[in-house]
Structure 1
Amino acid sequence: MTAPAPHALFTPSWHAELQLGYARFGDSTRPILRRHSGPLRVQKHLYAEGPQVCQHIIVHPPGGIAGGDRLDISASVERDAWAQLTSPGAAKWYRANSPAYQQLEVTVAAGATLEWLPQETIVFSAAQAELSTSIDLQGDARLFYWDVIALGRPASDERFERGHFQSQLNIRRDGQLLWHERQRIVGNDGLLDSPIGLDGQPVFATLLVTGEIDSELLERCRALDHPVRGDLTQLPGLLVARCLASEALLARGWLIALWRLLRPALLGREALAPRIWNT
């Protein structure tokens, strides 16, 4: 019996899907859809702030994403509902011989609010991570979104020498493109150390929040005393914040500090950190 050709060898991989839906009933936001297949799910819904804000923690039980894996997440937040989604820890993308994928598709109805606040994403050297995010806002829907990307493992002196990280983010309001961004970083690319790139910092983070703030609050945000290189830009209807950092925890700490300042001003509620962030 002849052995199968190398390209025919089976490579184990996971294909996981998670579908979430939220609706407003009286003064409470409740999950109306929670469907999953494969190793991707949410824990029980939490109401740390009261019934208006439904918090879910998205869990990926394998603990890491390997070559060939695919994660598909979709969420719908119906009129006047408020969903806050986070994660229990860092998402780890392992070294691989083939790409792994994550796709996020979200719809937020008029009067509704979505907070997408995951913990950091760690992309190991030689990983092939490809992420795509599409967010559709309707009417006066509100969004608070962030991501933190760590290339390599600085604590282990691992530089991002091989593999690639690429992502695409599209945010639309009533079908009109509000924000479009594409990134592709290849291992050992000159961009990693270039002063017009990451300038030798292995971690970069982005925050996007709908709405506009006054110049006084903008300066308070810029004056935050954190060991990151970051700044904010107010665009029409969208506030953008970015930073470079030596560690993911520093970048996440800066984002949380901004969230504490911006959430009351733009979303009308004090910022209460999910307990999972402290574990």
Structure 2
Amino acid sequence: MPRRADAPPTHQRSRGGAALRFALARGETRLADLHQASPMRILFPTPEPGEPPLAALVNTAGGLAGGDEVAVSIEAGPGTHAVISTPAAEKVYRSLGAETRIEARLQVGAGAMLEWLPQETILFDGARLARRLEVDLAPGATLLLAEMLVFGRHARGEVLREGSLLDTWRVRRGGALLWADGLALGEGMRERLDDPFGFAGAEACATLLAASETPLQAARDAARGAGAAATLPRPGLLLLRWLGAAAAVREGLGATIRLLRGQVLGSAPVLPRLWTC
């Protein structure tokens, strides 16, 4: 009698997401629509006096594994102002083969201001992350966007030796492409992270982008004092990058967020309260 072959093991994978829309009501930014699917949840901590509404994206699973897929959609309607952040670092675990996929789509209406300020994403050794960020800005919209990547769990002495990363950004204003960026690391990832003409052994990197129809030269010059490489690739667009030790990158990024909130948005020069809890 032939032996019955055991079925290959299957692993539960997440297919979650979150979507919310802000609209202006009686001169104030209000939540208009909300949708969430496990493992994603959206919480709304009470903002500091004078601050815009704060939405906290929470991954109730604690991290993302290979094969997980998460999609986030944020719409800031005309004239609104909102902050999107996370209560902790996102963790991308070692993969058994499949990619972890994260997609975020941001829409910012005319005269609106949106701050996309999640805390860092930590890539575990062997993680395979494909992340895509799409931004659509209406005329007169203002955006402050930051992302930080940490290569390995340095507090535990882990070194990111293998894995893959595909990080894609597209920012458009009025349908026209304003900024396109892409980072691809795959085979030979450790060598590229160590290469003096690549990441030079850095523990982390961060990118901050400000898009505004107001002049940004003064903000660029001031931001250089926080250890960033800063440039104005085109009028109305400020790009800053950090590379180095994880703690130093986070400190420089946080200092520049505070600076640009004051200079570009006209808001209080403070970080989202989730960053300091």
> Separation in 1 of the partners of 2:38 and 2:219?
44
TM-score of the superposed pair, with normalisation by structure 1: 0.91
SS of the residue corresponding to residue 267 of structure 1 reads coil
Q: Is the 8 A contact 2:110 2:141 kept in 1?
A: yes
Q: In structure 1, how many angstroms separate the alpha carbons of the residues matched to 2:142 and 2:222?
A: 22
Partners of 1:260 and 1:218 in 2: CA distance: 13
Equivalences, count: 271
Q: Partners in 1 of 2:259 and 2:237 — Cα distance?
A: 16
Structure 1 residue 250 displacement after superposition: 2.2
Return the letter of the residue paired with 1:134. E
Q: 1:161 to 1:215 in 2, by over 3 A?
A: same
Task: Measure how far apart 1:49 and its partner are.
Answer: 3.9
**Aligned twin of 1:221:** 223
Instruction: Tell whether the 8 Å contact from 2:128 to 2:164 is kept in structure 1 after alignment.
Output: yes
Decide whether the 8 Å contact of 2:216 with 2:237 is kept in 1. no
SS of residue paired to 1:223? helix
Q: Report deviation, 1:218.
A: 3.2
CA change 1:177–1:215 in 2 (3 A) is closer
Q: 1:223 to 1:272 in 2, by over 3 A?
A: closer
Structure 2's unaligned 5+ residue stretches are none
Q: TM-score, structure 2 length as denominator?
A: 0.92
Q: Which residue of the partner structure matches residue 10 of structure 2?
A: 10
Please tell me the residue identity of whatever aligns with 2:103.
Q
Matches within 5 A, 1:114-263: 114-186=114-186, 188-211=189-212, 213=215, 215-224=217-226, 230-235=228-233, 236-247=235-246, 249-263=247-261
Cα deviation, residue 5, structure 1? 4.9
**Farther off after superposition, 91-100 or 204-213:** 204-213
Partner letter of residue 261 of structure 1? Answer: L
What residue in structure 1 maps to residue 75 of structure 2?
76
Q: Which amino acid aligns with 2:201?
A: G
Cα displacement string for residues 124-177 of structure 1 (whole angstroms, at most 9, x for unaligned residues) = 010111101100001111100000001112222222111111111100001111
The two structures, once aligned, show a CA RMSD in angstroms of 1.8
- Most deviating of 130-139 and 190-199: 190-199
The percentage of aligned residue pairs carrying the same residue is 31
Structure 1 outlier segments of 4+, above 4 Å: 212-217
Structure 1, unaligned runs of 5 or more: none
One-letter amino acid of the counterpart of residue 204, structure 2:
V
